[in-house]
Structure formats: C-alpha cells, structure tokens
Amino acid sequence: MAAPGRKVLIVYAHQEPKSLNGSLKNIAVEELSKQSCSVTVSDLYSMEFEPRATRNDIVGCLHNSEQFNYGAESWEAYRKGCLTTDIVEEQKKVQEADLVIFQFPLYWFSMPAIMKGWMDRVLTQGFAHNFPDCFDAGLLKNKLALLSFTTGGNEEMYSKGGISGDIHYVLWPMQHGILHFCGFKVLAPQICFSPEYETEEKRKEMLTTWAQRLKTIWEEKPINCTPEWYFSRTSPRGEPGPVPGRLLPAARLAETGGGGTAGLASAGLGSPGAGAGTRGS
C-alpha cells in the first residue's frame, strides 16, 4: 500500500557503504521513496556523530556545575532550549517521523556504540519520556520503530537451545528498554542472519525480502511488546515475531555450520527457526 506523505527516519550505523547494511539502507530508501514517503537518513559514521553524553551537550550554564548529573542537566537543557545543535537536529527528525528504522550490524548482542550514543543523547527526558510518561505513555507514542540488523551468528545459534540463546533475549533491552520505554510502537525486527557466511544469491534474497516487506509496512500491526513476547513464547498464533531476512531450512544449517564460530551451529543446538520463525498473518 502506498503511503504518500508518511515520513521515515533511517538511523544508520555502518562504516562501509558497500556493506550489506549499506545495501539494506539503500533498498529501504529506494522502496519507501517509491511509495512517496519522505525519507531522511542519519548516517551516523559519515556525520561523525558524537556518541558521548557529556557536559558539552548543554550550551551555557549548568543547573548544578558543582556536581554534574547528565540526566538532570539534559532534561533541564531540553526544557530551556539549551541542548547542543546536533541533538536538536536529531530530535527534530524524530519528531517529524512516523516511522524510525534503525539499521545496524549487531555488536556484542547490542547496537554499535555510535548508535547507542544516539539513543543516550537524542532520547532526552522531556523529549522522549518523562516518568510516568513512559512505555505506552512514552512521549513518542504516536510513532513506529523497527530494528533492522545483521548478525555474525546464524539463526540456529540464536534459537532457544542455541549457543547464543533466543534472539528475543537480545531484542529485550533495545526494543523494550529503549524504544517502548519512549513510547514507540515496535514493529517486528528485520534480521539478516550471518550474511558474511552466505552466498551472494542468499544475500540478494535478504535484500529482496526486506524490500518486499517494506511494500506493506504501513499495514503491519506492532508487536505486543511485553516481557512475555521476549521470555515466554506463548504469544497467540498470528502475533508478529522477528522476521528473518530469509528462512533457513534445518538441513542446510546443519550442513554449513555457518556463523562466526564455525562448528557451534552443527553441534545440534536447538531447532532452527523455533523462536525466531516466520512472521504471523
């Protein structure tokens, strides 16, 4: 479904334009622009985005210069319009967006530091949350967010019995702890497992799957972002779960033993696709 006029912000963290992350970002820009959405990209590495939350983020006098408290000072600065310009610019982009897509490679079961720094600095108290205005009442509650990321480990490693544990455990701090906390309605994540260990053809398939999904992205229902979604996979059928870039047949996984730590995946750990299987409906 075309959605002319909808605004999308892509927060993108990869150093290399020729990476799969770079291609995933480009595909999203292309597909969403085709739908006449307006697309803005924050390319964090090329912007040399400052990831550190420091007193430089507050322009002018501090509320308490004797003992620095980043949370208190940035909240106060937001209210007074004294935050540094790079933060203000990112906040404007978020404010205007209907959907924010985060595109990144998984680093240490999380996002790269430059993107974590974006979260630390841009999602200021008063702008994104202000207790009790958090979770469903979070200040960004009329917006959608989606994590689109690549991994080194393969899908079987990120299954419930797998060496890395269920991918839902990795999603919990990012989707619930950050995005839902700020009020975002979270769409099912888009995960490209182990692109470096896949064939060219399979990588192309990952890109096509993403482009296909984006065609109907505005029709998607957000996930039910509660502890149960992450830790007790008893969601009713039809509940959206993570969307693998493509589905791996069990036999192929065992055969390739793919992933960064060769051999682990072939050790008969878990059933591929069990937790992070197909998306419902």
Ligand X SMILES: Cc1cc2nc3c(=O)[nH]c(=O)nc-3n(C[C@H](O)[C@H](O)[C@H](O)COP(=O)(O)OP(=O)(O)OC[C@H]3O[C@@H](n4cnc5c(N)ncnc54)[C@H](O)[C@@H]3O)c2cc1C
| Interaction site with ligand X (CB under 6 A) | 14, 16, 18-21, 23, 105-109, 150-153, 195-196, 200, 203-204, 207, 260
Closest separation between CB of residue 162 and ligand X, Å?
A: 11
Tokens of 121: 């600095």
Q: Which residue, 204 or 252, is less far from ligand X as judged by CB?
A: 204
176 part of the interface to Zn ion, by CB under 5 A: yes
Stretch that binds Zn ion, among 17-25, 29-37, 77-85, 178-186 (CB under 5 A): 178-186
Closest separation between CB of residue 18 and ligand X, Å?
A: 6
Q: Which residues pair with 12 in a beta bridge?
A: 43, 103
Which helix (H) or strand (E) is 266 found in, with range?
Answer: none
Among 7, 129, 168, 180, binds Zn ion (CB under 5 A): 180
Residue 254: count other Cβ atoms within 10 Å of its Cβ.
16
**Which partner in ligand X, Zn ion, none is near 176 (CB below 5 to 8 A by kind)?**
Zn ion
Give the DSSP per-residue string, 88-111.
Answer: HHHHHHHHH-SEEEEEEE-BTTB-
225 part of the interface to Zn ion, by CB under 5 A: yes
Q: How far is CA 256 from CA 10, 194, 207, 216, 266, in A?
A: 33, 12, 21, 33, 8
Q: Which residue, 14 or 121, is less far from ligand X as judged by CB?
A: 14
**Which partner in Zn ion, ligand X, none is near 201 (CB below 5 to 8 A by kind)?**
none
Q: Is the alpha carbon torsion for 163, 165, 171, 174 positive or negative?
A: negative
